[in-house]
């Protein structure tokens, strides 16, 4: 499942290089604000901000609800949101606008794409913008730390997520299994034969559907579970014996046990009960809950299964402020981010979307507490969160790594390629690209 759009890979890399050059050679007065719509009359005489984002559908509507509340809560700033497509689409368009020296004031960036903008020197360091209304310590530790490099905060959390193990309780019951998620991958392998005997309609249920898109994000957890890593900094380590063992286990689960498969869309297969389990984001919970109701099965969620140990990465997106925006607009942009960081607004966002709360006090919001008590599935991600951590840096900073790593996992899941060959090829490509990045990486991270 490729996430590269019409620009193509070479086009994207060229845009990133051009963006970095534009940032290096231009001062703030050389950049203008990207075009926006006419400001409604009642919001006139305010600082007009352009905020780019990647949230479509109900998530986009939830964002607009909060933006509308901000615009109506004060008389100094008006935020206009502009949807740009996927995280990758947004990064590509942002790079193009930087080259053209016309930029939004702030933008949503994923856990991968903000790193690219940081390496291009496009983001404003945010430490000096905090005040008594919002402090870095108000945020959940893993999230604020992930956006911090060398003591400077570049990226504030917003739509944060982790993988969860989703399972069909009704199918598990029919298979004679406990009404919980498996504690380990080996336990799930023991359960697989019983699951495969269950039929829904006229079809047998497969134990596990695997997605191609963002598969490297999901498999990061498997690497840690096998005491392996994608990398240590830019030192590529995924082809270690432990990493190959993790890949071999999943390949055997697919090929020998015939208990998993590469799905075109695991959320759909899971919702249609073609698969009894799927690895999906916490952000999928609200939609998956509705799919389970429509298909009339009991939904369960659990922590990611362990092997030698537990492992689960953080993911999702946050906000960055463009460093070449005017001083006035940067300050106004942070006022909006402070509004998003209020506990009641963080809780509202979580309840509307399924994304994790970003500030600690949001977890105590009575509405969120009531929701968690009503549906324990909403507490799974909160209970798992303290065990999660930031991904290994190679996937996050090597240009295009998230895409070509996903393609490698798609091939592993859908062909008979030997896991050691698959990981050797992937590691070779990652090392070659890491070498090209090394000087810029050292300048920003060491």
pLDDT at 7: 45
Q: Which of 337, 356, 386 is the last residue of a domain?
A: 386
Alpha-carbon gap, residue 72 to 43, rounded angstroms: 9
Q: How many domains does the chain have?
A: 2
User: What tokens were used for 25?
Assistant: 């050679």
Residue 181 lies in a domain: yes
Residues 293 and 325 grouped into a single domain = no
pLDDT at 238: 97
Alpha-carbon gap, residue 11 to 79, rounded angstroms: 31
- Is the distance from CB of 255 to CB of 416 less than 8 angstroms? yes
Residue 259 lies in a domain: yes
SS3 408: helix
Residues 296 and 342 grouped into a single domain = no
Residues 187 and 91 grouped into a single domain = no
- The residues near 434 (Cβ < 8 Å, ≥ 6 apart) are 231, 234, 236, 394, 398, 441
Q: For residue 359, which of 337, 377, 341, 375 has the smallest C-alpha distance? A: 341
Residue 87 lies in a domain: yes
Residue 20 lies in a domain: no
pLDDT at 30: 85
Q: What is the CA radius of gyration of the chain?
A: 22
Residues 139 and 199 grouped into a single domain = no
Residues 217 and 172 grouped into a single domain = yes
pLDDT at 286: 87
Residues 375 and 330 grouped into a single domain = yes
Residue 29 lies in a domain: no
Residues 299 and 410 grouped into a single domain = yes
Residue 69 lies in a domain: yes
Sequential pLDDT tens for the chain (446 residues): 334 444 454 455 555 555 665 665 555 568 999 999 999 999 999 999 999 999 999 999 999 999 999 999 999 999 999 999 999 999 999 999 999 999 999 999 999 999 999 999 999 999 999 999 999 999 999 999 999 999 999 999 999 999 999 999 999 999 999 999 999 999 999 999 999 999 999 999 999 999 988 999 999 999 999 999 999 999 999 999 999 999 999 999 999 999 999 999 999 999 999 999 999 999 999 889 999 999 999 999 999 999 999 999 999 999 999 999 999 999 999 999 999 999 999 999 999 998 999 999 999 999 999 999 998 999 999 999 999 999 999 999 999 999 999 999 999 999 999 999 999 999 999 999 999 999 999 999 99
Residue 112 lies in a domain: yes
Residues 380 and 407 grouped into a single domain = no
Residue 93 lies in a domain: yes
Q: Which of 386, 420, 437 is the last residue of a domain?
A: 386
Residues 323 and 364 grouped into a single domain = yes
The parent domain of residue 432 ranges over: 163-314+396-445
Assign residue 256 the CATH number of its domain.
3.40.190.10
- In angstroms, the Cα distances linking 386 to 17, 365, 369 are 37, 19, 18
Q: For residue 136, which of 115, 159, 153, 112 has the smallest C-alpha distance? A: 153
Residues 130 and 202 grouped into a single domain = no
Q: Which of 347, 368, 386 is the last residue of a domain?
A: 386
Residues 96 and 207 grouped into a single domain = no
Residues 178 and 285 grouped into a single domain = yes
Burial class (CB in 10 A: 0-12, 13-18, 19+), 77: buried
Alpha-carbon gap, residue 310 to 221, rounded angstroms: 8
């Amino acid at each position: 499942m490729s996430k590269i759009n019409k620009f193509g890979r070479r086009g994207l890399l060229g845009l990133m290089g051009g963006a970095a050059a534009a940032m290096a050679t231009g001062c703030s007065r050389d950049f203008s604000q990207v075009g926006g719509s006419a400001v409604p009359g009642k919001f006139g005489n305010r600082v007009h901000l352009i905020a780019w984002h990647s949230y479509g559908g109900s998530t986009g509507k939830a964002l607009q609800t909060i933006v509308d509340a901000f615009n109506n809560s004060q008389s100094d700033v008006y935020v206009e949101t502009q949807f740009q497509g996927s995280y990758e689409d947004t990064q590509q368009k942002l790079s193009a606008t930087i080259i053209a020296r016309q930029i939004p004031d702030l933008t949503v960036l994923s856990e991968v794409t903000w790193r690219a903008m940081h390496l291009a020197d496009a983001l404003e360091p945010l430490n000096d913008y905090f005040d008594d209304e919002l402090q870095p310590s108000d945020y959940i530790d893993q999230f604020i730390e992930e956006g911090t490099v060398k003591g400077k905060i570049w990226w504030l959390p917003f739509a944060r997520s982790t993988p969860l193990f989703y399972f069909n309780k009704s199918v598990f019951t029919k298979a004679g299994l406990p009404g919980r998620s498996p504690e380990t991958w080996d336990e799930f392998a023991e359960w697989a034969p019983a699951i495969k005997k269950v039929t829904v309609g006229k079809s047998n249920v497969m134990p596990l559907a695997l997605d191609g898109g963002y598969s490297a994000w999901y498999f990061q957890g498997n690497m840690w579970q096998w005491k392996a890593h994608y990398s240590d900094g830019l030192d590529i380590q995924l082809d270690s014996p432990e990493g190959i063992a993790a890949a071999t286990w999943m390949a055997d689960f697919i090929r020998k046990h015939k208990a998993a498969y590469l799905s075109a869309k695991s959320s759909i297969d899971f919702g249609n009960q073609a698969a009894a389990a799927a690895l999906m984001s916490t952000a999928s919970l609200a939609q998956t809950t509705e799919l389970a109701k429509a298909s009339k099965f009991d939904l369960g969620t659990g922590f990611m299964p362990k092997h030698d140990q537990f492992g689960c990465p953080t993911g999702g997106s946050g906000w960055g402020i463009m460093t070449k925006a005017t001083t006035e607009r940067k300050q106004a942009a942070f006022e909006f981010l402070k509004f998003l960081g209020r506990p009641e607004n963080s809780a509202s966002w979580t309840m509307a979307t399924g994304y994790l709360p970003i500030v600690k006090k949001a977890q105590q919001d009575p509405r969120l507490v009531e929701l968690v008590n009503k549906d324990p599935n909403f507490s799974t991600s909160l209970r798992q969160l303290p065990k999660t951590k930031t991904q290994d840096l190679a996937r996050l900073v090597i240009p295009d790594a998230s895409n070509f790593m996903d393609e490698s996992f798609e091939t592993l899941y859908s062909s008979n390629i030997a896991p050691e060959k698959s990981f050797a090829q992937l590691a070779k490509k990652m090392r070659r690209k890491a070498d090209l990045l090394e000087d810029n990486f050292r300048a920003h991270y060491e």
